[in-house]
Structure 1
Amino acid sequence: MRPLTIIGNWKMNGSLAANQQLIEELLSSKDFLANLQGVRTGLCVPYPYLSQVSQLLAKSSIACGAQDVSDHPNGAYTGDVSAKMLQDFACQYVIVGHSERRQFHQEGDGLVARKAKACLQANITPIICVGETEAEHDDGKTLTVVRRQLQAVLDLLQGQIASCVIAYEPVWAIGTGKVPTPAQAQDVHRELRLQLAKFDDEAASKVAILYGGSLKPDNAKDLLAMPDIDGGLVGGASLNAKDFLALCQACK
């Protein structure tokens, strides 16, 4: 059985004081801790807060993660952070290929695949994001786009895909309040799993495929009830303890 997974992506938000308050609220909630049983959870935070957050989460079942990584192990790459460095902060997850990285930093499919490989070489689980823009969605190119993005990863990682997490994030839904119907999201997730199965049938049965894009407590239950949706990659709702708790509850 694939593990249910809820990963928070704080994006470029947070402060030392706000981070501590949020995590203390989560860890002090008996309801939250009870609902973690059988659900993998993690918080992917900005680089400056990795030390603080990893220490705050150290004795909990919530994993600490980063939002990006370099595809290089070291060297003259000013501003980059290597997977080896992230190991020092007990990072268990790293988001790669998020649509905001693809859009604002022009990251292509090949670079995303190399970043995923760098994570695996450091024993960190990459959360590999795929998703179409609104124009691509309107043109009926959703499956063409996500298949291409996933195929680049499959071609490079070969037999390592079982150690990854995939996240389908329709770009037109991220932070907009627009959400595909559960059936529409399930169609994409099913196609991604079928693509995985053509490459590695055993891996396809194990890889968690998350949904992201305006995922909130009021729509999560229906989305997470779909057979090929194994959890969520959560943006704004992960900055609110009550909302993050509700999303974990929706996995039950």
Structure 2
Amino acid sequence: MKTYIFANWKMYLDFDESNILANALLLEKIDFNKIELALFPSALALREMTMVLNQTELKVGAQNVNWNPKGAYTGEISAQMYKDVGCKYALVGHSERRHVFGETDEDVRKKIEACLEADLIPVVCVGETKEDKDEGKREYRLKKQLMRAFENLDLANKEIVVAYEPVWAISKAGVGEACSAEEADDVHGWIKNELKQYTDKAIPVVYGGSANEKNVVSLLAQEMIDGVLPGNASTKFETFISLIKEAEKVS
């Protein structure tokens, strides 16, 4: 299995900055036999990037989707529309969507179904808050999120990825403290075991939550961690290419 690196650029980079960074990455010698690299730019930059990256090994993903295929949904973009412009992946249930914009587990489930219908690979984000962690409710929160996402969902011949992103570890403007590699590995193992009740397939689980060029080796050296979902660390060329090169060493 390749190591997944999913770069969530959030609302950090504008149109020009996104394309400059994508083109800079194209000039680098990245071992795509080891790395599955996908960029998640803003919706405005996405179309240009899919055109530039078409026929390359760099993939593109959407940061969010609407579960409706079409209709009177002002400001929204459907999973099928993202697929039509060349996306391979879509983030679903990111903690910022859940906690800033009020998305529910039910919303996340509908978005997963829309992605699968459109042949987009959903990157399903789950994670506990600091309050959950402090109160010993991590497993309760993760179990609930996974159940609402996958219960009675036909995953035969479907690809999905799960991202574990502890909400308390996610950086803002580059400030954040990642979960320790050992703790993250334990949680990833627990998630993988939990997923067995929903599918016989091995589902990759990646880590998001202040993943950066300094901790990526220790994270990826763990048995249960299949990749990383960096945010701020992926928005600057120097730190991002360093993260990629470090990941290659342990992939």
Fold shared per TM-score above 0.5: yes
Question: Which of the residues 56, 59, 69 maps onto 2:55?
Answer: 59
Whether 2:236 is the aligned partner of 1:237: answer no
Give secondary structure in 2 for the equivalent of 1:151.
Answer: helix
> Going by fraction, where is helix more abundant, 1 or 2?
1
Is the contact made by 1:114 and 1:156 (CA closer than 8 Å) also made in structure 2? Answer: no
Structure 2 counterpart of 1:226: 222
Structure 1 counterpart of 2:98: 102
Letter paired with 2:216: A
Deviation at residue 29 of structure 1 after TM alignment: 1.6
Whether 2:3 is the aligned partner of 1:7: answer no
Q: How many residues align?
A: 245
- Structure 1 stretches of at least 4 aligned residues deviating more than 3 Å after TM superposition: none
Letter paired with 2:48: Q
Whether 2:154 is the aligned partner of 1:155: answer no
Give the distance between the partners of 2:139 and 2:157, measured in 1 at CA. Answer: 19
Alignment of 1:1-252 (within 5 A): 2-30=1-29, 33=30, 35-160=31-156, 163-175=159-171, 176-200=175-199, 202-203=200-201, 205=202, 207-251=203-247, 252=251
Is the contact made by 2:7 and 2:39 (CA closer than 8 Å) also made in structure 1? Answer: yes
Q: Deviations over 1:121-163 (max 9, x none)?
A: 0110000000011111111111111111011111152334851
Is the contact made by 2:37 and 2:58 (CA closer than 8 Å) also made in structure 1? Answer: yes
Is the contact made by 2:2 and 2:35 (CA closer than 8 Å) also made in structure 1? Answer: yes
Give the distance between the partners of 1:150 and 1:165, measured in 2 at CA. Answer: 12
Give secondary structure in 1 for the equivalent of 2:214.
Answer: helix
Is the contact made by 2:15 and 2:44 (CA closer than 8 Å) also made in structure 1? Answer: no
Give secondary structure in 2 for the equivalent of 1:218.
Answer: coil
Letter paired with 2:21: L
Letter paired with 2:181: P
Give the distance between the partners of 1:229 and 1:160, measured in 2 at CA. Answer: 23
Deviation at residue 19 of structure 1 after TM alignment: 1.8
CA 6–155 in structure 1, closer or farther in 2 if over 3 Å, else same: same
Deviation at residue 248 of structure 1 after TM alignment: 2.3
Give the distance between the partners of 1:110 and 1:212, measured in 2 at CA. Answer: 22
Give secondary structure in 2 for the equivalent of 1:167.
Answer: strand
Is the contact made by 2:65 and 2:76 (CA closer than 8 Å) also made in structure 1? Answer: yes
- Give the TM-score of the pair, scaled to structure 2: 0.93
Give the distance between the partners of 2:219 and 2:157, measured in 1 at CA. Answer: 24
Give the distance between the partners of 1:94 and 1:17, measured in 2 at CA. Answer: 22
TM-align CA RMSD: 1.5
Give secondary structure in 2 for the equivalent of 1:90.
Answer: coil
Specify every segment of 5 or more residues in structure 2 that has no aligned partner in the other structure, as ranges. Answer: none
CA 6–106 in structure 1, closer or farther in 2 if over 3 Å, else same: same
Specify every segment of 5 or more residues in structure 1 that has no aligned partner in the other structure, as ranges. Answer: none
